[in-house]
Amino acid sequence: MTTPDYRLSQLETLEAESIHMIREVVAELERPVLLFSGGKDSIVMLELARKAFAPARIPFPVMHVDTGLNFPDVLEFRDRRVAELGVHLIVASVPEAIARGTVREEPNGSRNRIQTPVLLDAVEKHGFTALFGGARRDEDKARAKERVFSFRDEFGQWDPKNQRPELWDLYNGRIHLGESIRVFPLSNWTELDIWQYIAVENIAIPSLYLAAEREVVERQGMLYAVNEFISPREGEQTRRETVRYRTVGDANLTAAVLSTATTVEDVIAEIAVTRMTERGATRGDDKVSDAAMEDRKKEGYF
Amino acid sequence: MAPVENDTIRKDILRIATAGSVDDGKSTLIGRLLYDSKAVFEDQYEAVERASAGGDYVNLALLTDGLRAEREQGITIDVAYRYFATPRRTFIMADTPGHVQYTRNMVTGASTADLAIVLVDARKGMLEQSRRHAFLASLLRVPHLVVAVNKMDLVDWSEQTYEAIRDEFTSFAAKLNVPDLTVIPISALHGDNVVTRSSASPWYDGPSLLHHLEHVHVASDRNLVDTRFPVQFVIRPQSDAYHDYRGYAGTVASGVLRPGDEVQVLPSGLTTTIAAIDGPRGPVDEAFAPMSVTVRLTDDLDVSRGDLICRPANAPRVSQDIDAMVSWMADTELRPGQRLAVKHTTRSVRAVVKELQYRLDVNTLHRDREATGLGLNDIGRVRLRTTQPLFVDDYARNRVTGRFILIDEATNSTVGAGMLSTGS
């Protein structure tokens, strides 16, 4: 790529910044792990990690907190990608934790809260000191105040009122035993940046992100595709609609959006004009309260 | 390359820091910029509409409210980052609160900024805090300063009021090394001169705020002269395919690196040439800031994290004696004799505070040479002695090799930010 004016595009700038953050973690913290769900943000984060250390392998394992409620398509994608890169995958299983009795199923069927203790247990078991997460600051107002290197105490808790000042790109990764750092290399990326990067770099994604005709049921104005975790309740009618997923969370709670976007370029065109946030449009679990994300983050959620 | 709209990919990023208190209408201005550039989504807007029910206007300030504690106390406690874009540029805005922890937050927000916006209430004119914000922007060497004279509707769009504030600010900025100052009369509440020029100010012939943000020229702000490449990480694949590969990964701080360049490695002082430079998509012909690349050298030298690659004829200062302006961010005082950890580029060393030369009153710029310590939110000139040499330039010449952070080794907290200067 020729750059006679010595300027980088916005994607090249974001990419360079993220690679810097990822390398800094590996240089300063002993046992990092990257949270990889097979969702678009963690796919991009893993790709940036690959670029940060090429031609060497990614020098840390990846971990998936498996709620047992994943879209099969996404799990297949996860396993394939991990095999291609030759990285070690650790699965922290919520159903196993439920079976062991270390966490209890919540009455509303959401495993969003109970995945936090499962994550923290796995972190302790493996002795991880740095956890890469794919969260972006544009996702939620609690995230807008998150540091790139976000300090967590020995209980994995976030204290929003007492964060370390973060100046320039001089990240402070110092911790005491038992403490850890959550690192967010995609902090400055927006949803549109992620999609444009996927397009430009020709990055593979699970097919759920692209529109297809699916059998859906409508609940509180949101469209849920019928799958092994969602079946029509009494009185609900199913219908066929062309939909895609803007986010992939748990299959029992993630809604799809009406869409005709069958390619990444189509998705970009749709996102550029969309008038709803991705979580507002697709996540039943974030609608609980205005501060739902802030509360979960304090407990150690990503 | 995939067929994505060219202009959306080639856009650049402008980083902005905003300073001002709630009373200046800063949140309203940011809400206005986000809303008018369509960075606010319907579900967010509906939430704000519900929350401002009963008022005459939808309270755009609520768009920037973050944490529960902030809403409960009616204050902003931390820097928040906002994102918006126009067809010309992408903007990353560090929204820094005006009241609590103002210096710490403003210094944090300004540290990465290309441009700072200082809000002034047209009814009140230039206050002590306006001076403080402008000073902090200049201390952090933010290259472009915008003074947004807000609430012009409440002074009947008086040209005299605007001119008085503009002139006062211009003469103050002249003392501060502000290279580029723009003063814009606006009404954030009504949107005048924010996105488009307003008919309310026919006497004003400058740009709207957004037009200025879209067009301000930042490319020349960078240092393309002094080649500085701090080594961040050594890449050794130890695989059959790349048996002899040894690459020095890092982010270019300044200058330009090309294969074939003769370079010097500090601290060893040994010279060699660049064999190749690998970027994220393979080998590149040149690397410049802020590219993250991996440099391969012709000779097999002992190079590790914290070393620095430069040109033999243009090396940074190698020194254990560091003179710097320090912004102190901890509750406990900085005092002479104190030991601290220093992180400078990719190099971490220890230091002892040899001397506090003066504490600066950020409102009057008075230098208090009798000061015995720096308290929370104080700024002063400090001399440090480090355990190992650092490879430094003055912050005024090089924002990357001229900066460092101070860390308390007992608590591991970041307690200060330093900007090197050899002058007084």
H or E element in which residue A193 lies: helix A191-200
Q: Which residues of B touch A145 (CB under 8 A)?
A: 66-67, 78-81
Taking the Cβ of residue A177 and every Cβ of chain B, the question of whether any pair is shorter than 8 Å is answered with no
Q: Do A11 and B112 touch (CB under 8 A)?
A: no
Preferred mutation among A25, A147, A167 to probe B, highest tally of B CBs within 10 A: A167
Taking the Cβ of residue B73 and every Cβ of chain A, the question of whether any pair is shorter than 8 Å is answered with no
Rounded to an integer, what distance in angstroms lies between the CA atom of residue A262 and that of residue A257? 13
pLDDT values of chain A reduced to their tens digit, one per residue, 302 residues:
444 578 899 999 999 999 999 999 999 999 999 999 999 999 999 999 999 999 999 999 999 999 998 999 999 999 999 999 999 999 999 989 888 888 888 887 788 888 888 999 999 999 999 999 999 988 877 788 889 999 998 888 888 777 889 999 999 999 999 899 999 999 999 988 999 999 999 999 999 999 999 999 998 888 898 888 888 888 889 999 999 998 888 888 888 999 999 999 999 988 877 766 666 666 655 444 455 666 666 777 77
In the block, tokens 């105490």 appear at A153
Quick one: pLDDT at residue A244? Answer: 93
Cβ proximity of B276 and B287 under 8 Å: no
Interval B70-81 mean pLDDT? 66
Q: Do A6 and B222 touch (CB under 8 A)?
A: yes
Q: Do B41 and A274 touch (CB under 8 A)?
A: yes
Quick one: pLDDT at residue B384? Answer: 98
* pLDDT at residue B263 greater than cutoff 60: yes
Quick one: pLDDT at residue B61? Answer: 62
Preferred mutation among B40, B49, B67 to probe A, highest tally of A CBs within 10 A: B67
**Both structure tokens of A200:** 């430009």
Quick one: pLDDT at residue B78? Answer: 75
Taking the Cβ of residue B219 and every Cβ of chain A, the question of whether any pair is shorter than 8 Å is answered with yes
Q: Residue B304, exposed/middle/buried by CB under 10 A (0-12, 13-18, 19+)?
A: exposed
CB-nearest partner of B9 from A163, A172, A200:
A200
Task: Please work out, in degrees rounded to the nearest 5, the angle formed at the alpha carbon of residue B309 by the alpha carbons of B304 and B313.
Answer: 145
Taking the Cβ of residue A266 and every Cβ of chain B, the question of whether any pair is shorter than 8 Å is answered with no
Quick one: pLDDT at residue A103? Answer: 86
pLDDT digits (tens, 9 = 90+) for B76-94: 567 888 888 888 899 999 8
- Chain B closest CA to A97's CA: distance in Å? 31
Determine the residue of chain A that is closest to B248 in CA distance.
A53
Quick one: pLDDT at residue B97? Answer: 75
Quick one: pLDDT at residue B365? Answer: 86
Q: Which residues of A touch B288 (CB under 8 A)?
A: 3, 6
Cβ proximity of B255 and B227 under 8 Å: yes
- pLDDT classification of B358: cutoffs 50, 70, 90: very high
Q: With a CB-CB cutoff of 8 Å, which residues 206-235 of chain A face chain B?
A: none
Q: For residue B420, which amino acid is it?
A: L
Cβ neighbour number for residue B54 with a 10 Å cutoff = 5
Q: What is the mean pLDDT of chain B?
A: 88
- Chain B closest CA to A181's CA: distance in Å? 12
* pLDDT at residue B240 greater than cutoff 60: yes
* pLDDT at residue B184 greater than cutoff 60: yes
Among A250-254, B287-291, B373-377, which stretch is predicted with the lowest mean pLDDT? A250-254
The residue among A182, A172, A127, A187 whose CA lies nearest residue A24 is A172
pLDDT digits (tens, 9 = 90+) for B93-122: 988 876 656 788 889 889 999 999 999 999
Determine the residue of chain A that is closest to B237 in CA distance.
A56
CB-nearest partner of A51 from B280, B286, B413:
B280
Taking the Cβ of residue B358 and every Cβ of chain A, the question of whether any pair is shorter than 8 Å is answered with no
Q: Which residues contact B41 (CB under 8 A, 6 or more apart)?
A: A274, A275, A276, A277, A280
**Both structure tokens of A75:** 């799990």
Cα B239 to the chain's mean position, in Å?
A: 40
Report the predicted TM-score, pTM, of the whole model to 2 decimal places.
0.92
- pLDDT classification of B1: cutoffs 50, 70, 90: very low
CB-nearest partner of B414 from A51, A160, A165:
A165
Q: With a CB-CB cutoff of 8 Å, which residues 6-45 of chain B face chain A?
A: 8-13, 41-44
| Percent of chain B residues topping a pLDDT of 90 | 66
Q: Which residues pair with B47 in a beta bridge?
A: none
Size of interface A-B (CB pairs under 8 A): 192
Q: Report ipTM for this prediction.
A: 0.91
Q: Residue B410, exposed/middle/buried by CB under 10 A (0-12, 13-18, 19+)?
A: exposed
Q: With a CB-CB cutoff of 8 Å, which residues 110-139 of chain A face chain B?
A: 137-138
Taking the Cβ of residue A243 and every Cβ of chain B, the question of whether any pair is shorter than 8 Å is answered with no
Cα A93 to the chain's mean position, in Å?
A: 17
Q: Which residues of B touch A24 (CB under 8 A)?
A: 232, 346
Taking the Cβ of residue B245 and every Cβ of chain A, the question of whether any pair is shorter than 8 Å is answered with yes
Rounded to an integer, what distance in angstroms lies between the CA atom of residue B424 and that of residue A163? 33
Rounded to an integer, what distance in angstroms lies between the CA atom of residue B215 and that of residue A50? 35
CB-nearest partner of A165 from B239, B250, B329:
B329
- Chain B closest CA to A244's CA: distance in Å? 19
Q: With a CB-CB cutoff of 8 Å, which residues 39-58 of chain B face chain A?
A: 41-44, 47
Q: Which residues contact A217 (CB under 8 A, 6 or more apart)?
A: A223, A224, A226, A230, A232, A233, A236, A237, A238, A239
Q: Do B108 and A280 touch (CB under 8 A)?
A: no
* pLDDT at residue B5 greater than cutoff 80: no
Taking the Cβ of residue A250 and every Cβ of chain B, the question of whether any pair is shorter than 8 Å is answered with no
Quick one: pLDDT at residue A271? Answer: 83
H or E element in which residue B256 lies: strand B256-257
- Sign of the Cα pseudo-torsion (A102, A107, A111, A117, in order): negative
* pLDDT at residue B211 greater than cutoff 80: yes
Cβ proximity of A26 and A211 under 8 Å: no
| Percent of chain B residues topping a pLDDT of 70 | 86
Preferred mutation among B68, B71, B86, B340 to probe A, highest tally of A CBs within 10 A: B68
Rounded to an integer, what distance in angstroms lies between the CA atom of residue A264 and that of residue A268? 6
Q: With a CB-CB cutoff of 8 Å, which residues 141-170 of chain B face chain A?
A: none
